[in-house]
Structure 1
Amino acid sequence: METLPTGISVLDREFGGGLPSGSVVVLTASPASQSELIVDRLARVRACRYLTTVRSPAAVEDGLRRDRGRSADENESVVVSAVDEADPIDDALSIADDLPDRGTFVVDSVGPFEAEDRDSYRAFLNGVRQRVADADGLAVLHALKGETDGPTRAVTEQVADVVFDLRTTVTGTEIANRLVVPKFRGGAALEEPLKLKLTDTVTVDTSRDIA
């Protein structure tokens, strides 16, 4: 099984070079957080099919262009599409069918799919898993907290091979972002949260916590 870099150096160091190919990765985060920076990094490290369910494709592409360090080659490697609201599951899977070898399939966000009935949603997740496995790639599902309150969020996390849980807290004048990785099939989950600095890039926050 190949290890695929995440594009985020601190994560690649922690995970021995990246994530196992064929993995389904879920990133849970508050809608008010800077989690889009993490999604963008995961999207642009290799060829990507990026499915947006909320923002317009133009808005996603603009955000990717603004991401510091993005090269001209990377501009061509991410194909952004909006989901067909009339038949979202079939449309999403047809886009995943076009996933290049060792590519990344991003769903941002997965909430509209979680709103489907349980059986249809399970079929969607299994279809995504099969397609990324066939391509030796990765699937990244951006799951916003509070977006769904039903049982399908538990299905998302159960099916996922890797769960990234971004926790954002505000204390006084400090905004703290901690990434918890409670689940990692094919690897070792992190024993401690990673404190991240999310500005225009994703880096390790080396500032001390003040009790």
Structure 2
Amino acid sequence: METLPTGISVLDREFGGGLPSGSVVALTADPASQSELILDRFSRVRDCLYLTTVRPADAVEETLTLDTDESDRTDVRGVGDDDSFDEVLDLAADIPDRGTVVVDSVEPLEHRDRAGYRRFLNELRQNAAAADAMVLLHALEGDADAPNRLVTEQIADIVFDLRTTVTGTDIVNRLVVPKFRGGAALEEPLKLKLTDTVSVDTSRDIA
């Protein structure tokens, strides 16, 4: 099993260089957070297949090409509301060797048939493992959790929970890693600075 860098130096340091190939990672976050920056880093570090379920593919491509000349490393494909799970798997058939598959966001798929969704995730995992790749599921949180969010978190090998708190003029982002199958979850949250990059927030909390 190979270790794949995440593109985020603080995470790679915490996890010994990256995450195991074949892993399914669920990133849970508030829709109003800067969680897309984390997707951006994951998608740029190596060849990436990016499945977008909400934003148009050209809008995602435009965002990814704002400040990089490596846009050809990311293949963005749109998932339609009427696409079956088999059709989504067909879109994800060309997983790059030692690459990344991003599903942004997974919430529309979580609202579908539970058995079909579970089969979809397990087949996506198997395909990624065969390519020594990694899957990142962007699992946004709404007023009420998607009906199959439990399935997402059960099948995921690693869960990243981004928690954003707004106090006065301060925005504090903490990344909690409650689950790391076959590894060690973090004992304490990572305080992150999410601007145009992802870095460690070294400011002190003021009670």
State the TM-score, normalizing by the size of structure 2.
0.96
The yes-or-no answer on 1:174 pairing with 2:203 is no
Letter in 2 for 1:195: K
Aligned partner of 1:193 in structure 2 is 189
Give the counterpart of 2:96 among 100, 105, 115: 100
Give the paired residue count.
207
SS at the partner of 2:65? helix
Mind listing any 5+ residue stretches in structure 2 that lack a counterpart? none
Aligned partner of 1:9 in structure 2 is 9
Aligned partner of 1:36 in structure 2 is 36
TM-fit CA distance, 1:86: 2.2
Across the aligned residues of Structure 1 and Structure 2, the Cα RMSD in angstroms comes to 1.2
Runs of 4+ in 1 over 3 A off after TM superposition: none
Contact persistence 1:4–1:18 (CA under 8 A): yes
The yes-or-no answer on 1:125 pairing with 2:116 is no
Contact persistence 2:107–2:146 (CA under 8 A): no
Contact persistence 1:6–1:12 (CA under 8 A): yes
Residues 142-168 of structure 1 deviation map (CA, whole Å, 9 limit, x = unaligned): 000017634410110010000000000
Mind listing any 5+ residue stretches in structure 1 that lack a counterpart? none
Work out the CA distance in 1 between the residues paired with 2:101 and 2:12.
19
TM-fit CA distance, 1:25: 0.3
Work out the CA distance in 1 between the residues paired with 2:84 and 2:135.
17
TM-fit CA distance, 1:22: 0.2
| Identity in percent | 70
Letter in 2 for 1:203: S
Letter in 2 for 1:25: V
Residues 162-183 of structure 1 deviation map (CA, whole Å, 9 limit, x = unaligned): 0000000001110000000000
Residues 90-117 of structure 1 deviation map (CA, whole Å, 9 limit, x = unaligned): 2221122101111111100001110111
Work out the CA distance in 2 between the residues paired with 1:56 and 1:147.
24
The yes-or-no answer on 1:49 pairing with 2:45 is no
Give the counterpart of 2:107 among 106, 111, 128: 111
Contact persistence 1:88–1:113 (CA under 8 A): no
The yes-or-no answer on 1:165 pairing with 2:150 is no
CA change 1:115–1:153 in 2 (3 A) is same
